Amino acid sequence: MAKYKAAITGIGGFVPETKLTNFDLEKMVETNDEWIVSRTGIKERRIFREPGKASSDMATYAVKELLEKTGTNPEEIDVVICATVTPDMQFPDTANTIALKIGAKNAWGFDLGAACSGFLFGLTTGSRFIESGAYKKVLVIGVDMMSSIINYKDRTTCILFGDGAGCVLLEPSKNEYGFEDADLHGDGSGAKFLNMKAGGSLHPASEDTVKNRDHYVFQDGRPVFKAAVSGMRATTLKVLNRNNITKDDIDWVVPHQANMRIINSLADYLEVPKEKVMTNIERYGNTTAATLPLCLWDYEKKLSKGDKLIFTAFGGGFTWGTVYLTWSYDSN
Ligand code: COA
């Protein structure tokens, strides 16, 4: 039995100013705007290129915005959870670097992988921390600097990904609204379809790994696409059914932004009108762990107390799941 209910009480976000458009990509690989838009829905993505800066810097910009908006003293933060597949370094964890940069002197923290499901897993973990009564303020960050692990000679992946950061603050709810339910999954047999082979203990960096371009994202798109569609449908349906939620009860679907066709197929399956589905893939592409909080960041002003939100994501691992949350404040 949970001691408290966890609620999102603030949002922050950051996207770099530099844009990489489909027309820019046309000059880099054999592709074209029409193909990219019709297959993915993406028109442009943001790229973080500041010498000496990394994922922790994007996350720091996002968190500082959140702290200012909510009037939170960073020294009150108990835990920092940083979902990312592009940490500043293999270790120490980027969460610790972010805590230092924002002045969260009393926080402990850790990084969480889970690729495109990272924020969803972090949101669930952070909410469980609050529910237990052990912590009062948990920061959950989703940040990825995908441009640091993308091969800009591979047209099948370089058109998809972008850089960005988003974050939420979790606190014990002051009303009846907040984190309601989660259904999370993993299947290691999906690793062969979406991975970055080198740089870990299996294939430490070597001349060969560099030559083979094994320090970049590899994806076999079709099986990932199919598993994403079926996985997101099944997990969302499960959460809706066990919470007695009908399509008419849903105020917002917050889907991972990997491909507009996947998002549309989910919306059609749930019979939820497109106006209730948060999207920004057209402008940011797939920012991996940052897609869900960046959706919240873009739509914050439209959210009202009591709104029912269904978050769902699918990513490398495979990892996937759904979170049901009721919104705890009037954001406008
Ligand atoms: N520009 C032009 N043509 C391209 C291209 C590009 N950027 N990328 C691939 N193609 C070509 C392929 O070479 C292939 O050509 P062929 O038929 O001559 O072999 C053709 O387009 C179709 O490729 P395919 O991979 O089957 O396309 P697709 O419709 O599956 O779309 C993805 C590719 C990557 C957009 C899609 O598979 C996808 O979104 N996958 C899931 C991504 C995802 O959800 N990830 C989740 C976790 S991040």
At 2 the pLDDT is 84
Residues (pLDDT < 50) of the chain are none
At 198 the pLDDT is 98
DSSP symbol at 191 = G
Provide the token pair at 81. Answer: 């959870």
**Which residue's C-alpha comes closest to atom 32 of ligand 1?**
221
At 332 the pLDDT is 72
Distance CA 291, CA 258 (A): 9
Helix axes 33-40, 260-270, angle to 10 degrees: 30
Active site residues per annotation: 116, 256, 286
At 14 the pLDDT is 98
- For residue 261, give the nearest of 299, 310, 226 by alpha carbon: 226
**Which residue's C-alpha comes closest to atom 20 of ligand 1?**
156
Query: 179-326: which CATH number, 2.60.120.200, 3.10.310.50, 3.40.47.10, 3.40.50.150?
Result: 3.40.47.10
Q: Which CATH class is domain 6-172?
A: alpha beta
User: Phi/psi zone of residue 311: left (φ > 0), alpha (ψ -120 to 50 degrees), beta?
Assistant: beta
Distance CA 283, CA 290 (A): 13
Tell me how far the alpha carbon of residue 35 lies from the centroid of ligand 1, in angstroms. Answer: 9
Q: Cβ(195) to ligand 1 under 6 A?
A: no
Residue range(s) occupied by CATH 3.40.47.10 in the chain = 6-172, 179-326
Distance CA 8, CA 326 (A): 9
Tell me how far the alpha carbon of residue 161 lies from the centroid of ligand 1, in angstroms. Answer: 13
Q: Cβ(159) to ligand 1 under 6 A?
A: yes
Its sign, for the CA torsion 294, 61, 102, 215, is positive
**Contact of 129 with 107, CB cutoff 8 Å:** no
